[in-house]
Homo-oligomer: A and B are copies of this chain.
Amino acid sequence: MSRKQSVTDSDVGDMLTQKGYRRTAGRMALLEILSKTRRPLSIAEIIRLWKKDPLDQATLYRALEDFARTGVVHRSDLNTGTARYEYLHGRPHHHHLVCAKCELVEDVEVCVITEAQKKVLQRSSSFTAVYSHNLEFFGLCTACSKV
């Protein structure tokens, strides 16, 4: 009913089938982890959360790249040197709040850019289309600001 906040096993499986992927144990588990975590995860974090047997990195990278290409997950580089991947839960896109010290990442649901994007395109001298944007805020989380 209404908007889903989490995803069940069969949902994850359906999603895979629907996008033309195969329902493999690995990709199910990966989507499981991503869908339960409402923020961008680095590869290292995913590996840490991984409960199944040994995890091959190449396989993980390939699956994530696959998912990102078809829009199942969103990839973002938050100036931390490593890519992060986030399950979109059907949301078109959103932004992030990144702690400059500990790299804690929080989602920002509001988006104030859409109209501005048009202006940017109008003023540009060498672009003919703008179809997306990344907006990340940097600051200090409560824990880090105490230190």
Interface, chain A (partner B; CB < 8 A): 75-79, 81, 83, 95, 97, 99-100, 104, 106, 108, 110, 112-113, 116-117, 119-121, 123-143, 145
In Å, the complex CA distance between A66 and B100 comes to: 17
27 A-B pairs in the complex with CB atoms less than 8 angstroms apart = A76-B79, A77-B77, A95-B120, A97-B120, A97-B127, A97-B130, A99-B127, A100-B131, A108-B123, A110-B116, A110-B119, A126-B141, A126-B142, A126-B143, A127-B140, A127-B142, A130-B137, A130-B138, A130-B139, A131-B138, A131-B139, A131-B140, A132-B138, A132-B139, A133-B135, A133-B137, A133-B138
A67 to chain B, nearest CB (A): 15
| A-B contacts besides A81-B83, A106-B124, 8 pairs, CB < 8 Å | A95-B120, A99-B127, A100-B131, A126-B142, A126-B143, A127-B142, A129-B139, A134-B136
